[in-house]
Amino acid sequence: MQGILFPRGVVEGRENLQAYRARGGYEALAQALKGFSPGQILQEIADSGLRGRGGAGFPTGKKWAFTAESTETPHYMVLNGGEDEPGSKKDRLLMENLPHLVLEGLILASYAVKASKAYLYINAIYEEATRSMSDALAEAKAAGYWGEKINAGGDFSLEILLSPAPANYVAGEDTAALEVIEGKQPLPRQKPPFPATAGLFGKPTAVNNVETLANVAPIIAHGAKWYRSFGTAESPGTMIFSMNEEVHRPGVYELPFGTPLRYLIEDCGGGVKSGNRIKAIQPGGPSSAYLPGEKIDIPLDHNSVRQAGSAIGCGVVHPITTESCIVEETLRIAEFFSVESCGQCPACRMETNMLAAMLKKVQQGQGGQPILDQFAKVIAFNKGKGFCNLVNMPGPPIESALRLFRADFDSHLANGRCPQG
Amino acid sequence: MKELQQRVKDQGIDDLEVRPYLCFGACQEGPNVVLYPEKSWYAGVKKGDLDDIMGHLAGGPNVTRLDTIDGSLKELIYQLLDTGVF
């Protein structure tokens, strides 16, 4: 299947500058710097309907406009490659294999938001991705794609620096990334103000996920209308979905938004390894609500997945078959968020620790109905009470698990073990 | 906490255990002392407050100046403790 990012929809090894140029790479940047204003580039991105791929799906054009229109200077651009979501490897693969596609997007984005300095914030354990991006930076600098006075008018200069990201979940949060680049601990900031207007060193800063920026050059090269020929009206383009060891062919798959979930799991992933019936699907990583297995034919786009009761997140799709216990699955998720909570917000610390402890008790068969009644109360009490969104993350999987798979919880409470034994 | 544990021991109160607990979400107002099952919650406790807390444990009045935690948080935590598994 034709992709927008991966030319044939699949990963095919690292693409160097020569290979990237041979398929039209950096032509979008050359055109932009020769004949288009930053405002025109921004408008094209807004018209394309590109939405952030880091999880929230916020319209990229709107985000950039806040930064571009700010009269505060200088402006900054940050590539957020702090990916640490369990099961997600799309950003790492993009940086490893298509570094120039990512870099061209970053330079175009910097031009659009009038940034004079950009940072490549990359998870420190991604050694190959860091090397690949570092090599691409050097190649692109030598070719004159970034540096001093690179546009036709001679008024656009861009400096690009690497900044390693600590390998933990919260460090991938946009404002935690800014803290790290400023030399501080990876702790999210209170918002507002948002980074778009008061980010790095208090200045306007556009922070974008790697996959988001990888979409920019193709949009500028082919136009917003072309981009909208992929996907759906409210979710244009493609998205990279990650599938892990539960399917025969784990990997990343770039598919147009709106592709049926079944196609991803069965045609791309080759179906679930166990061969058992799929009883639940988490379509958007550990913070997304479970869907019942019968929803396998829903289209993979923001609206459809939301209407089905979940979220597409960063595209980590996790099918769960009948031999698995949802209590065990949910406990693993709760423990993950408990460990990854940075601890600076009391509500988040309390909630994530408490939910994990409560699920542990349920797993051990303790607490009965009274403890099940407390989950919704703990989640509701703490909702939104934190500097970042982590406090809201354990809620959807836990509440959907209780609603959809009550038999698994009842089995643990009655017998101290899973229904499957 | 060690000071409180020692005082309880010194006074021979044998139906009371003083121990650290799960995070109750009020660390910014700590140190916190929660008396359960009586359901009294004292926040911002200092060593100088221990005489009054010990007095309360001995049947004296509530230490109202330390009773500053939001009622809804107290209710949530008491309900969790009432499940009997923590």
Q: What is the mean pLDDT of each run of 10 residues along chain A (421 residues)?
A: 75 88 95 94 98 91 97 97 89 96 98 98 96 97 95 90 95 96 96 95 97 98 97 96 95 95 97 95 96 97 96 95 94 96 93 96 93 95 93 97 95 86 66
Please count the other Cβ atoms lying within 10 Å of the Cβ belonging to residue A152: 13
Number of A/B CB contacts below 8 angstroms equals 48
Distance from CA of A396 to the nearest CA of B (A): 20
CATH 3.10.20.600, chain A: domain bounds: 238-321
The answer to whether the complex's ipTM is over 0.95 is no
Q: What pLDDT score does A85 carry? A: 85
Domain extent for B10: 2-82
Q: What is the CATH number of the domain that holds B71?
A: 3.40.30.10
Judge whether B80 is closer than 8 Å to chain A, CB to CB: yes
Judge whether B24 is closer than 8 Å to chain A, CB to CB: yes
Q: What pLDDT score does A354 carry? A: 95
Judge whether A354 is closer than 8 Å to chain B, CB to CB: yes
**Residue partners of A169: CB distance under 8 A and separation at least 6:** A84, A85, A336, A340, A390
Q: What pLDDT score does A142 carry? A: 96
Looking at the partner chain, which of B22, B25, B80 has a beta carbon nearest the beta carbon of A374? B80
CA atoms within 13 Å, Cβ hemisphere of A246? 21
Q: Please, what is the angle between helix A346-363 and helix A406-415, to 10°?
A: 60
From first to last of its 86 residues, chain B has per-residue pLDDT tens of 899 999 999 988 888 999 998 889 998 898 999 999 999 999 999 999 999 999 999 889 999 999 999 999 999 999 999 998 88
Say how far apart CA B80 and CA B66 lie, in whole Å: 22
Q: Please, what is the angle between helix A395-404 and helix A406-415, to 10°?
A: 80
What are the φ/ψ torsions at residue A146 (nearest 5 degrees)?
Answer: -150, 155
Contacts of B72 in chain A (CB under 8 A): 381
For residue B23, count CB atoms less than 10 angstroms from its CB and return exposed for 0-12, middle for 13-18, buried for 19 or more.
Answer: buried
Say how far apart CA A383 and CA A68 lie, in whole Å: 32
Judge whether A272 is closer than 8 Å to chain B, CB to CB: no
Nearest residue on chain B to A376, judged by CA atoms?
B76
User: Is the CATH number of domain A326-415 3.90.1300.10?
Assistant: no
Judge whether B72 is closer than 8 Å to chain A, CB to CB: yes
Judge whether A382 is closer than 8 Å to chain B, CB to CB: yes
Q: Indicate yes or no: CB of B83 within 8 angstroms of CB of A367.
A: yes
User: Is the CATH number of domain A238-321 3.30.450.60?
Assistant: no
Say how far apart CA A113 and CA B52 lie, in whole Å: 61
The tally of domains found in chain B comes to 1
Distance from CA of B23 to the nearest CA of A (A): 5
Q: Indicate yes or no: CB of A358 within 8 angstroms of CB of B73.
A: no
Domain A17-227 architecture: 3-Layer(aba) Sandwich (3.40)
CATH 3.40.50.11540, chain A: domain bounds: 17-227
Judge whether A347 is closer than 8 Å to chain B, CB to CB: yes
pTM of the model: 0.91
Contacts of A335 in chain B (CB under 8 A): none
Looking at the partner chain, which of A349, A370, A382 has a beta carbon nearest the beta carbon of B83? A370
Judge whether A220 is closer than 8 Å to chain B, CB to CB: no
Q: What pLDDT score does A267 carry? A: 96
